[in-house]
C-alpha cells in the first residue's frame, strides 16, 4: 500500500501550474470582493406608507404587530398645522389620537416611553400620565396620587408600575426626582447640586441612573456672564418606602455637551450617549468613559449599542461587552438624525436632509452576516466552492488509488 501512495505522489500532474494560477487569481479577486463588501448592508432611505412621511417626527415608539409597515405610535409636527399624535398598525389603519384644533396642546407632550405589556406612557398635564395600549389603541388617564403640584418630564418602570421613577419640574421651578408605586408619589429628591434633571432609567435592584445638566460658574476659563453647561450623572437609590424620598448616592459631572440618549442595555448596565462622548454605568456605580461621540444612539435586543454620527458620517460605531467596533457604510449618512428607535432587528432613524426635507433612514441589523449581505454571500460562495473542490479532489485521489 505504501508503494502505491509513493508512486501516486511522485507523479506530476500536467495541470498543476494551471491549478496554482487559478488559485492565486481566485485569492486576488476574493480579496477585492471582500474589500468591496466590507460595508453595512440593509441600509435604506424612505418612510414608505407611514403617515409621517415627509413630516418632522418629534418622538416615536415602534412595536411589533406583524404588519406590512412598521407599527408605530408617532408624535409629529407639520408646519402651519401643528402637532399630531397617532397610532398606525398597517398601511390603511391609522388611529388619530390627537390633532391640532384651536389651542395646540401637542407641544406639551414631554416624552413617549415604551413599557412592557405593549404599553406606552406620556404626559401632557400636571401630575398626570397618559397610558396608551399599543395597537388598539386604548387610552387611559392616570392621576398621580399626591398633594403637590409638578410636571412630569420622564417616567420609567422597573418591570411594572409597582416600582417606577419620574423626573419632575416642581411648582417652585426646581428639578427633582420622585419615586412612584402604583402611581402614588414619594417626596421629591433633595437636589443639593442644583441639577436640571432630564431623564432616568433603571440600573439594578433599587438603583437608577439619572442624567441632566448643571451650570458650572466656577470652571476655569468660563466667563461669569456665560458659564459652561456640563452633563450631570447621578446614581439614585430608593428602597420602596413611599414616605421617604429617593436618595442621590453618587454624582458625577461630565464634559460640556448634550446628552441625547440614556438607556438600560440589560445585565445591570446603562449607556449614556452624548454628542461629545459616551458613558457606561455599571451596577457598582462606577462610570466608564466611552470615546464615541454621536448624534443619536439605540440599543438592540442583544444589548449592543449603535452610535449614529452626524450627517455625512461614513461609519456607525457599536459597543458591546466592552468592545468598540466601527462599521463602515456604503454611503455617508444623508440626514441630520434627530431621533432613532430600534424594533425587531430594525433601526429607524428620523432627521432632516441637506435640503431641509424630513426623511427616515433604516438599517436592518439582521442582514449583517446573512446570505443577503455581500460578505455573507462571499462566505457562502467560498464554502460551497471549496467544498465541491475538496469532494472532487478526494474522489479523484480515490479513483486513481484504485487503479494502482
Instruction: Indicate the pLDDT class of residue 367, thresholds 50, 70 and 90.
Output: confident
C-beta neighbour count of 306 within 10 angstroms: 23
Q: Where in the sequence is the domain holding 382, given as residue range(s)? A: 1-37+373-404
Instruction: Indicate the pLDDT class of residue 40, thresholds 50, 70 and 90.
Output: low
For residue 400, tell me if it sits in a domain: yes
Percent of the chain scoring above 90 in pLDDT: 52
Distance of alpha carbon 239 from the chain centroid: 29
For residue 383, tell me if it sits in a domain: yes
Q: Is the pLDDT of residue 51 over 50?
A: yes
For residue 60, tell me if it sits in a domain: no
pLDDT in tens, 67-81: 656 799 999 999 889
For residue 378, tell me if it sits in a domain: yes
Q: Is the pLDDT of residue 61 over 90?
A: yes
Q: Is the pLDDT of residue 370 over 50?
A: no
For residue 1, tell me if it sits in a domain: yes
Q: Is the pLDDT of residue 291 over 50?
A: yes
Which residues, including other chains, have CB under 8 Å from residue 176's CB and lie 6 or more apart? 150, 167, 168, 170, 188, 189, 191, 197
pLDDT at 371: 45
For residue 11, tell me if it sits in a domain: yes
For residue 361, tell me if it sits in a domain: no
**Exposed, middle or buried: residue 312 (CB in 10 Å: 0-12, 13-18, 19+)?**
exposed
How many separate domains does the chain show? 1
For residue 174, tell me if it sits in a domain: no
pLDDT at 35: 47
Whole-angstrom CA distances from 50 to 70, 88, 93, 105 are 8, 8, 10, 23
The C-alpha angle 218, 221, 226, rounded to 5 degrees, equals 70
Instruction: Indicate the pLDDT class of residue 117, thresholds 50, 70 and 90.
Output: confident
Encode 321-354: b = buried (16+ Cβ within 10 Å), e = exposed.
eeeeeeeeeeeebebebbbbbbbbebbbbbbbee
Instruction: Indicate the pLDDT class of residue 57, thresholds 50, 70 and 90.
Output: very high
pLDDT in tens, 163-221: 999 999 999 889 999 999 999 999 999 876 688 999 999 999 899 999 999 886 555 55
pLDDT in tens, 167-178: 999 998 899 999
Least confident of 33-42, 151-160, 189-198, 296-305: 33-42
The number of CA neighbours under 13 Å toward the Cβ of 34 is: 10
Whole-angstrom distance, CA of residue 37 vs CA of residue 39: 6
Whole-angstrom CA distances from 191 to 170, 178, 210, 246, 370 are 11, 11, 12, 10, 50
Q: Which of 90-99, 133-142, 180-189 has the highest mean pLDDT?
A: 180-189
Amino acid at each position: 500500500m505504501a508503494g502505491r501512495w509513493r508512486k501516486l505522489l511522485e507523479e506530476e500532474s500536467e495541470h498543476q501550474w494551471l491549478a496554482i494560477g487559478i488559485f492565486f487569481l481566485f485569492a486576488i479577486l476574493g480579496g477585492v470582493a471582500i474589500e468591496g463588501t466590507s460595508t453595512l448592508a440593509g441600509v435604506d432611505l424612505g418612510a414608505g406608507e407611514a403617515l409621517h412621511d415627509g413630516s418632522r417626527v418629534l418622538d416615536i415608539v415602534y412595536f411589533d404587530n406583524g404588519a406590512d409597515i412598521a407599527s408605530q405610535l408617532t408624535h409629529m409636527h407639520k408646519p402651519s398645522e401643528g402637532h399630531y399624535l397617532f397610532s398606525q398598525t398597517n398601511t390603511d389603519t391609522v388611529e388619530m389620537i390627537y390633532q391640532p384644533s384651536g389651542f395646540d396642546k401637542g407641544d406639551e407632550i414631554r416624552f413617549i416611553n415604551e413599557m412592557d405589556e405593549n404599553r406606552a406612557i406620556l404626559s401632557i398635564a400636571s401630575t398626570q400620565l397618559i397610558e396608551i395600549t399599543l395597537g388598539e389603541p386604548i387610552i387611559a388617564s392616570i392621576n398621580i396620587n399626591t398633594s403637590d403640584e409638578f410636571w412630569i418630564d420622564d417616567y420609567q418602570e422597573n418591570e411594572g408600575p409597582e416600582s417606577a421613577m419620574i423626573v419632575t419640574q416642581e411648582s417652585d421651578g426646581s428639578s427633582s426626582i420622585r419615586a412612584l408605586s402604583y402611581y402614588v408619589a414619594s417626596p421629591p429628591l433633595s437636589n443639593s447640586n442644583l441639577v436640571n434633571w432630564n431623564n432616568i432609567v433603571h440600573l439594578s435592584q433599587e438603583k437608577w441612573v439619572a442624567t441632566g445638566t448643571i451650570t458650572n460658574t466656577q470652571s476655569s476659563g468660563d466667563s461669569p456672564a456665560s458659564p459652561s453647561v456640563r452633563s450631570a450623572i447621578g446614581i439614585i437609590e430608593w428602597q420602596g418606602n413611599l414616605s421617604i424620598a429617593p436618595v442621590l448616592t453618587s454624582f458625577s459631572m461630565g464634559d460640556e455637551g448634550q446628552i441625547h440618549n440614556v438607556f438600560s442595555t440589560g445585565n445591570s448596565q446603562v449607556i449614556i450617549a452624548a454628542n461629545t462622548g459616551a458613558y457606561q454605568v455599571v451596577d457598582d456605580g462606577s462610570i466608564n468613559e466611552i470615546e464615541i461621540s454621536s448624534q443619536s444612539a439605540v440599543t438592540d435586543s442583544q444589548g449592543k449599542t449603535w452610535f449614529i454620527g452626524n450627517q455625512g458620517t461614513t461609519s456607525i460605531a457599536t459597543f458591546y461587552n466592552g468592545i468598540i467596533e466601527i462599521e463602515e457604510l456604503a454611503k455617508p449618512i444623508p440626514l441630520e438624525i434627530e431621533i432613532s428607535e430600534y424594533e425587531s432587528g430594525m433601526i429607524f432613524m428620523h432627521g432632516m436632509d441637506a435640503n431641509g426635507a424630513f426623511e427616515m433612514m433604516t438599517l436592518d441589523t439582521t442582514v449583517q452576516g446573512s446570505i443577503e449581505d455581500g460578505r455573507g454571500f462571499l462566505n457562502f460562495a467560498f464554502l460551497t466552492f471549496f467544498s465541491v473542490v475538496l469532494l472532487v479532489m478526494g474522489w479523484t485521489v480515490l479513483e486513481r488509488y484504485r487503479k494502482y
